[in-house]
Chains A and B, each alone.
Chain A
Amino acid sequence: MNLEGFLAQLLAVAAALAGAPLLSGWVNQCRAWLQNRRAPPITMPFRTLHKLFWKESVIAHDASPIFRVTPYIVFGCMLLACLIIPTLSTNLPLAPAADAIALVGLFGVARLFISLAAMDIGTSFGTLGARREMLVGFLAEPAFLMVVFTASLISSSTSLATTVSTLGHREFAILPSLAFAGLAFTMVSLAENARVPVDNPATHLELTMIHEALILEYSGRHLALIEWAASLKLFAYSCAGFAIFFPWGIAEASDSVAFLWALPALAAKLAVGGFALALIETILAKMRIFRVPEFLATAFLLGVLAILVHLLLGA
């Protein structure tokens, strides 16, 4: 591990930890503007986190250790995800630890633990949330993997760093396979990040919630860690999307000048992506829970189509 790689990795951690809540704040801001409301400041998520960390954690009598370790594990998983996705540079010493398939597995671990924690207290909403989360998860995971496969087949590598450098060097052209994959990826990201039309992050209406039902029993620092992890997940998904579909601006290894440009490029991409997310959330309505399988099955089939298009047309 050289010094440069170490610095790049450290910068990626800092960017993720600071950028993720800012991204959530930005999406909330955009959504408020689009809905003719006065927007909270972009740093609002930080204030919420600070407030939650100060509060004491209230834990149910029956809670097992799983309930208490889950926030830390979920946070760790999401941070690792942000570390292996090339956000600023492809020169990441930790990247060989996990490729794109392992990245999908990483999200799976977080999902498993948070679902188990939701079932741990033994409340009806907790199990409801766990069931729905696993439902969304088992449909979204294959669709995500299909997207990953498409990108891997094009760049003949499942390593995200190699994918970025291969895709970043091609001529600008809209590949039909990547277009299908991009659509599938967008649908999966909406579902996985508990966004409209699959889930509504702003609701506490019991019967419709998924993500909120899972974390209903959490409070204080545990809730803060989970909220932070949720924004890290959004950040990770956004960056994974940029890495596969818009890899321009991510610095190559041993290219210090490009590294300076990487941060503004990432900020610009996130700003546009966040605005698009807010737009989607404003113009779409939330769908019934049993419409979600259709929605995600569509994403899955789009992913399979993307692979077939690549294999048939070579494009």
Chain B
Amino acid sequence: MGPLPELLAIDGIMIVVAAWFAIGLVGIAALHDFRLVGRVLFPLSAVLSIAISGLALYALPGAPQTAVLAIGLPDLPFHLRLDALSAFFLALLGLASAGISVFAGGYFRQGEGTPPGLLCLHYHLFLAAMAMVMLADDAYAFMVTWEVMALSSYFLVTTNHRIAEIRRAGFLYILVAHVGAIAILLCFGVLQANTGDYTFANMRAQSLSPFWASCAFLLALFGFGAKAGLLPLHVWLPEAHPAAPSPVSALMSGVMLKTAIYGLVRVNFDLLGSPLWWWGVVALVVGLATALFGVVFAAAQVDMKRLLAYSSIENIGLIVVGLGLAIVFAAYRMHSLAALALVASLYHCVNHALFKSLLFLGTGSVLHATQERNLGKLGGLMRYMPWVAWTSLVGVIASAGLPPSNGFVSEWLLLQGFLFTGELPNPYLRMLVPVFAAGVVLVAALAGYVMVKFFGVIFLGRPREEKLASAHDAGGLERLGLLWLTAGCVLLGLFPVAVIEVIDPITYALVGRGLAQSGRAGDWLLLAPVSAERASYSPLLFLVVIATVVLLAFVLVRRFYHGRVRRAAPWDCGFPMQTARMQDTAEGFGQPIRQIFEPFYLMKRELPSPFDAAPRYKVTVEDPLWGWVYLRIAAVTEALSRWVGMLQRGRISIYLLYSFLTLVTLLLFTQA
């Protein structure tokens, strides 16, 4: 017997994927056994998630590893490859899904449509497919796993399939996903440049003419944009996320959207070679429009999961802005700056994966405890659900992009990237890019508004409904999941230098430069992407100073004065008839934004007349793009199909005539 073959990280990852698949199959065997699925299978899957992120992080700095998996069609095996970029996104998948899976173990309950075992199968197929998308090294493997991912997530979205609205949301999702998949397929078709070889290695070797390269770029932006939720293909997000169970929303928003970002980075920086500068501008424009649109709509939402869905659109927009900036810099061969912008984007990917999963899971616990998604019927939950509230607070601070959280680090890096655009050789770009920076800043500030609304209306104030007083806190497994993600947010916020060192091999591979050399400045504490003179930020020092001041103030006030407290009724300017209904509703809190950004919305107001005995005020906010784009496409499609439908006469003689005419035409054709 020869020596055992050495096991590479990629083999380990494939074993984990297979184990996920096996867990799904066990789930099918135990279709209705809640205890087994929830207490054993999901926690086990979380352990596998940690294993996959460990393996990926271990493999990240190393050389790319490849494997060939002989499944699928004959002579067309799956080519797999684990390089720094795949490893990074696999680590992201593992970190986020570990928390989500543990939470899911405590979350899924009896009587919610799909039986638990089937749900377990869909869930793990989804996880396995996402991992395989990131490993795929040929278009065939990529598209197959991409489709498995779309289908399994479709079944997860429609878990509560007895509700018509949810089926509709699921249909919209699968429709947009497939339109996107067609574009991706075409993009790979362009990239292989008539060689007939669909491996990524071949695509890397081809050098396309600028026209075809631009075609590939635009197709990739469209195709992956549909998955990521870029404007105007974002419509499925605010429908699918509220429809799906919360752990599924978390997985889709936190991880699945990132597979689209992975695809964009893979195509633009790896397969396409040297980019053109205007691609970056297109990405900047689309990204900024998406971000602004997402955040403005998030501010107007009254459904908490819909609010988070729009917030995801905003974050994806910011990530694409970072990619656009990286493309611009890369096109002008300013490689260190391209690395800076790329790091900002990738960093934001992990951040968003963690904090958005955390917030979605928080809404899941709230939903279970109260059966309410409407913000206007929540409130005061901090008292009844302290675990969920405090962990959500961390997510809220991160999502608002405030120091010392992780959300701020990526925002800071992105803004630093913008500050270097003065060195661009193109004068028009030099003028244009600061305007984008201004837009990004506006989006970041608005995100703060949205997050105060989200947290304040759900967790603070007084309960707006009586039944909220019986709300219960999250269970043990749910708490564990929330804590895992919270810890991730905090650590990523406090130790940015370590994270950037992890990202470094990716930027070396993609744009040829890294940040860690300059970013270190000889100090693990201080993040300084260019030089300490130029800019620096140290979240740990930042937090320590604030904590010291807080403690000192706390102690000194008690030392020199006193710490007495008296509990009393709220003062509220002495108004005695205060009720919980007098607090701002979600509509009320979003009203200033609706007024300022009125042209963005399609708003319908129903105002009561002064003589109404029972006055009702109603305002609905809708997405104008639905009417401008989708309904028009639908109308055109319908008109076309009606036109084509004229052929359909329902009489056999006419169909025979068609056959005859076709035959004659073909004969004429072959004659000539």
Chain A residues proximal to chain B, CB less than 8 Å: 53-54, 56-62, 64, 66, 69, 72-73, 75-77, 79-80, 83, 94, 96-99, 101-102, 105-106, 108-109, 111-112, 115-116, 119-128, 130-132, 134-135, 137-139, 141-142, 145-146, 149, 152-153, 156-159, 162, 204, 206, 216-217, 220-221, 225, 290, 293, 300, 303-304, 307-308, 311-312
| A141-B566 contact given A119-B460, A120-B460, CB 8 Å threshold | no
Task: For B570, give its contact among A97, A119, A159, A217 (CB under 8 Å).
Answer: A217
Task: For A162, give its contact among B533, B566, B584 (CB under 8 Å).
Answer: B533
Closest CB in chain A relative to B444 CB, distance in Å: 8
Q: Indicate if the CB atoms of B461 and A156 lie closer than 8 Å.
A: no
CA distance A61 to B570 in the complex (A): 7
- From B449, B451, B562, residue with most partner A Cβ within 10 Å: B449
CA distance A249 to B402 in the complex (A): 32
Among B407-423, those with CB < 8 Å from A are: 408, 412, 415-416, 418-419, 422
Closest CB in chain B relative to A111 CB, distance in Å: 7
Task: For A146, give its contact among B441, B444, B528 (CB under 8 Å).
Answer: B441
Task: For A97, give its contact among B418, B538, B571, B583 (CB under 8 Å).
Answer: B538
Q: Which residues of A contact B526 (CB under 8 A)?
A: 96
Q: Indicate if the CB atoms of A122 and B400 lie closer than 8 Å.
A: no
CA distance A134 to B526 in the complex (A): 31
CA distance A77 to B571 in the complex (A): 27
| A122-B580 contact given A76-B550, A96-B538, A108-B400, CB 8 Å threshold | yes
Q: Indicate if the CB atoms of A159 and B550 lie closer than 8 Å.
A: no
Q: Mark B594-637, 1 if CB is under 8 A from A, else 0.
A: 01100000000000000000000000000000000000000000
Among B157-197, those with CB < 8 Å from A are: none
CA distance A311 to B424 in the complex (A): 11
The bracket for how many chain B residues form the interface is 35 or more
Q: Indicate if the CB atoms of A97 and B541 lie closer than 8 Å.
A: yes
Chain A: CB-nearest residue to B457: A119
Closest CB in chain A relative to B154 CB, distance in Å: 36
CA distance A61 to B568 in the complex (A): 6
Q: Indicate if the CB atoms of A127 and B584 lie closer than 8 Å.
A: yes
| A56-B562 contact given A105-B401, A108-B448, A122-B462, CB 8 Å threshold | yes
Interface flag for B561 (CB, 8 Å): yes
Q: Which residues of A contact B446 (CB under 8 A)?
A: 138
Q: Indicate if the CB atoms of A134 and B452 lie closer than 8 Å.
A: yes
Q: Indicate if the CB atoms of A76 and B549 lie closer than 8 Å.
A: yes
Q: Which residues of B contact A69 (CB under 8 A)?
A: 550
- Report 23 cross-chain contacts, Cβ distance below 8 Å, ordered by A residue: A56-B566, A58-B567, A62-B383, A108-B400, A112-B400, A112-B402, A119-B456, A119-B584, A121-B461, A122-B583, A124-B584, A127-B461, A131-B589, A131-B591, A134-B448, A135-B592, A137-B449, A138-B446, A138-B449, A152-B419, A225-B553, A225-B557, A304-B438
CA distance A79 to B199 in the complex (A): 58
Q: Which residues of B contact A142 (CB under 8 A)?
A: 438, 441-442, 444-445
Closest CB in chain A relative to B536 CB, distance in Å: 4
Closest CB in chain B relative to A127 CB, distance in Å: 4
Q: Which residues of A contact B438 (CB under 8 A)?
A: 142, 146, 300, 303-304, 307
Task: For A141, give its contact among B441, B460, B538, B572 (CB under 8 Å).
Answer: B441
Chain A: CB-nearest residue to B572: A123
Closest CB in chain B relative to A200 CB, distance in Å: 16
Summarize B's interface: helix, strand, loop or mixed.
helix
Among B520-564, those with CB < 8 Å from A are: 526, 528, 532-538, 541-542, 545-547, 549-550, 553-554, 557, 560-564
Q: Which residues of A contact B448 (CB under 8 A)?
A: 108, 111-112, 134, 137-138, 141
Q: Which residues of A contact B545 (CB under 8 A)?
A: 76, 80, 83, 94, 97
Q: Which residues of B contact A111 (CB under 8 A)?
A: 448
Among B368-409, those with CB < 8 Å from A are: 379-380, 382-383, 393, 397, 400-403, 408
| A80-B573 contact given A57-B566, A102-B537, CB 8 Å threshold | no
| A130-B456 contact given A102-B403, A111-B448, CB 8 Å threshold | yes
Q: Which residues of B contact A217 (CB under 8 A)?
A: 570-572
Q: Indicate if the CB atoms of B538 and A153 lie closer than 8 Å.
A: no
Q: Indicate if the CB atoms of A58 and B541 lie closer than 8 Å.
A: no
Q: Indicate if the CB atoms of A77 and B435 lie closer than 8 Å.
A: no
Interface flag for B588 (CB, 8 Å): yes
- From B380, B591, B596, residue with most partner A Cβ within 10 Å: B596
Task: For A123, give its contact among B401, B583, B593 (CB under 8 Å).
Answer: B583
Closest CB in chain B relative to A89 CB, distance in Å: 17
Chain B: CB-nearest residue to A293: B596
Task: For A75, give its contact among B383, B456, B549 (CB under 8 Å).
Answer: B549
Interface flag for B252 (CB, 8 Å): no
Q: Indicate if the CB atoms of B537 and A97 lie closer than 8 Å.
A: yes
Q: Indicate if the CB atoms of B445 and A137 lie closer than 8 Å.
A: yes
| A307-B541 contact given A105-B403, A153-B419, CB 8 Å threshold | no
Chain A: CB-nearest residue to B578: A123
Q: Which residues of A contact B441 (CB under 8 A)?
A: 141-142, 145-146
* Known interface pairs A122-B460, A132-B592, A221-B563; 18 further A-B residue pairs with C-beta atoms within 8 A, sorted by A's residue number: A60-B570, A76-B550, A94-B545, A98-B538, A102-B542, A105-B403, A106-B542, A111-B448, A119-B452, A123-B571, A125-B572, A127-B589, A128-B584, A138-B449, A141-B441, A142-B441, A204-B573, A217-B571
Task: For B542, give its contact among A73, A97, A123, A145 (CB under 8 Å).
Answer: A97
Q: Which residues of A contact B235 (CB under 8 A)?
A: none
Q: Which residues of A contact B8 (CB under 8 A)?
A: none
Closest CB in chain A relative to B376 CB, distance in Å: 13
Q: Which residues of B contact A312 (CB under 8 A)?
A: 431
| A96-B401 contact given A53-B557, A216-B572, CB 8 Å threshold | no
Task: For B402, give its contact among A105, A120, A135, A307 (CB under 8 Å).
Answer: A105
Q: Indicate if the CB atoms of A66 and B382 lie closer than 8 Å.
A: yes
List 8 A-B pairs, minimum CB-CB distance, nearest first: A122-B461, A122-B462, A76-B549, A127-B584, A119-B456, A123-B572, A97-B541, A141-B445
Q: Indicate if the CB atoms of A64 and B379 lie closer than 8 Å.
A: no
Task: For A73, give its contact among B418, B550, B563, B572 (CB under 8 Å).
Answer: B550
Q: Indicate if the CB atoms of B416 and A158 lie closer than 8 Å.
A: yes
Interface flag for B123 (CB, 8 Å): no
Closest CB in chain B relative to A94 CB, distance in Å: 6
Q: Indicate if the CB atoms of A64 and B383 lie closer than 8 Å.
A: yes
Chain B: CB-nearest residue to A94: B545
CA distance A274 to B180 in the complex (A): 59
Closest CB in chain A relative to B559 CB, distance in Å: 11
CA distance A228 to B397 in the complex (A): 24
CA distance A58 to B571 in the complex (A): 9
Interface flag for B204 (CB, 8 Å): no
Interface flag for B226 (CB, 8 Å): no
Q: Which residues of A contact B549 (CB under 8 A)?
A: 72, 75-76, 79-80
Q: Which residues of B contact A94 (CB under 8 A)?
A: 541, 545
Q: Which residues of B contact A141 (CB under 8 A)?
A: 441, 444-445, 448
Q: Indicate if the CB atoms of B584 and A105 lie closer than 8 Å.
A: no
Chain A: CB-nearest residue to B589: A131
Q: Indicate if the CB atoms of A76 and B431 lie closer than 8 Å.
A: no
CA distance A149 to B418 in the complex (A): 9
| A116-B452 contact given A122-B460, A290-B595, A311-B430, CB 8 Å threshold | yes
Q: Which residues of A contact B434 (CB under 8 A)?
A: 149, 304, 307-308, 311
Q: Which residues of A contact B107 (CB under 8 A)?
A: none
Q: Indicate if the CB atoms of A116 and B455 lie closer than 8 Å.
A: yes
Interface flag for B657 (CB, 8 Å): no
Task: For B582, give its contact among A124, A206, A300, A304 (CB under 8 Å).
Answer: A124
CA distance A157 to B530 in the complex (A): 10
CA distance A130 to B455 in the complex (A): 12
Closest CB in chain A relative to B432 CB, distance in Å: 10
Q: Indicate if the CB atoms of A102 and B584 lie closer than 8 Å.
A: no
Q: Which residues of A contact B582 (CB under 8 A)?
A: 123-124
CA distance A96 to B545 in the complex (A): 12
Q: Which residues of A contact B379 (CB under 8 A)?
A: 122
Closest CB in chain A relative to B308 CB, distance in Å: 17
CA distance A53 to B553 in the complex (A): 12
